[in-house]
C-alpha cells in the first residue's frame, strides 16, 4: 500500500487524514521536506491558498514540492487545486503549474459560497466513481480552462470540478468534507497503479 502524505500547514488536512483512516490507507501529516521525502503521494487540502503559499515558502517547501510533483502524484482540493494550477486569477497568484488548468479564485461568487450539491461523473468515469457524488463547495474556484492533456471527470453546471492530468488530480470542491470516500479511494488506487508501473517498467 502506498503511503499518502497530507500537507498539514493550514486548512482542513485533518478531514483528509480521517478519509484515509476510513479507507485503511496508510497516511501521515507532512510539514517538512524530510517528511515529504518519505511519502509516495501527497494531498494538498482546502483552506486558504495565499496563506498556504506563504507558509510553503517560509518552510522552504516550495522547491521540494515542485520537484515532488514532477515524479509523484498529488491530489489538490479547492485551495490545493488553486496551488496546482498553471494559471490563477482573481487575484493572480503564484502556482506550481502541475496541471494545465486555469482557475478563477472564488469564481462562483455567492452562488457557491458554501453549498452541497449532487454531481454526476462524466460517462467515461461513471463506472469507476459511480453515480450521485455529494460535493461540498466553499468559496470554490472555477476551473475556467483545461489544457489538452486534462481529463474532466466531473462537471457542475458545465464547468469542470474534478480533473485529472496524468498522475495528478484536482477538485474545486471538498470530497474530504463528506462521508463519501469514493474520490479518495480512486486517488489511492491510482497512486498504487502508478507506483507498480514505475517499479515494473
| Contact residues: ligand GLN, CB under 6 A | 46-49, 78-79, 82, 105-106, 138-139
As measured in angstroms, the least distance from the Cβ of 170 to ligand GLN is 12
Do residues 121 and 131 touch, judged by C-beta distance below 8 A?
yes
Examine the residue annotation and report whether 16 is marked as an active-site residue of this protein. Answer: no
Examine the residue annotation and report whether 176 is marked as an active-site residue of this protein. Answer: yes
- Please give the torsion angle defined by the CA atoms of residues 6, 31, 11 and 159, in that order, rounded to the nearest 10 degrees: -50
Query: For residue 74, what are the CA distances in angstroms to 7, 97, 166, 201?
Result: 10, 12, 10, 21
Examine the residue annotation and report whether 78 is marked as an active-site residue of this protein. Answer: yes
As measured in angstroms, the least distance from the Cβ of 49 to ligand GLN is 3
Q: Which is nearer to ligand GLN, 2 or 11 (CB)?
A: 11
Q: How many CB atoms lie within 10 A of CB 134?
A: 15
Q: Which is nearer to ligand GLN, 139 or 155 (CB)?
A: 139
Choose, from 16, 165, 168, 174, the residue flagged as catalytic: 174
* Coil vs helix vs strand at 43: strand
Q: Which is nearer to ligand GLN, 77 or 181 (CB)?
A: 77
The residues carrying an active-site annotation are 78, 174, 176
Amino acid at each position: 500500500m502506498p503511503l499518502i502524505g497530507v500537507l498539514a500547514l493550514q486548512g482542513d488536512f485533518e478531514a483528509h487524514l480521517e478519509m484515509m483512516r476510513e479507507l485503511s490507507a496508510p497516511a501521515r501529516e507532512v510539514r517538512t521536506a524530510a517528511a515529504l521525502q518519505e511519502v509516495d503521494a501527497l494531498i494538498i487540502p482546502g483552506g486558504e491558498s495565499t496563506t498556504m503559499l506563504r507558509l510553503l515558502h517560509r518552510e522552504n517547501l516550495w522547491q521540494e514540492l515542485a520537484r515532488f510533483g514532477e515524479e509523484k502524484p498529488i491530489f489538490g482540493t479547492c485551495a490545493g487545486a488553486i496551488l496546482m494550477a498553471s494559471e490563477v486569477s482573481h487575484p493572480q497568484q503564484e502556482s506550481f503549474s502541475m496541471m494545465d488548468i486555469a482557475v478563477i479564485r472564488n469564481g462562483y461568487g455567492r452562488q457557491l459560497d458554501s453549498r452541497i450539491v449532487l454531481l454526476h461523473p462524466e460517462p467515461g468515469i461513471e463506472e469507476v466513481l459511480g453515480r450521485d457524488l455529494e460535493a461540498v463547495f466553499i468559496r470554490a474556484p472555477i476551473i475556467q480552462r483545461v489544457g489538452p492533456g486534462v481529463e474532466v471527470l466531473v462537471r457542475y453546471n458545465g464547468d469542470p470540478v474534478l480533473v485529472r492530468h496524468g498522475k495528478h488530480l484536482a477538485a474545486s470542491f471538498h470530497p474530504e468534507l463528506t462521508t463519501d470516500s469514493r474520490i479518495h479511494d480512486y486517488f489511492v488506487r491510482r497512486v498504487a497503479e502508478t507506483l507498480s508501473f514505475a517499479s515494473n517498467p
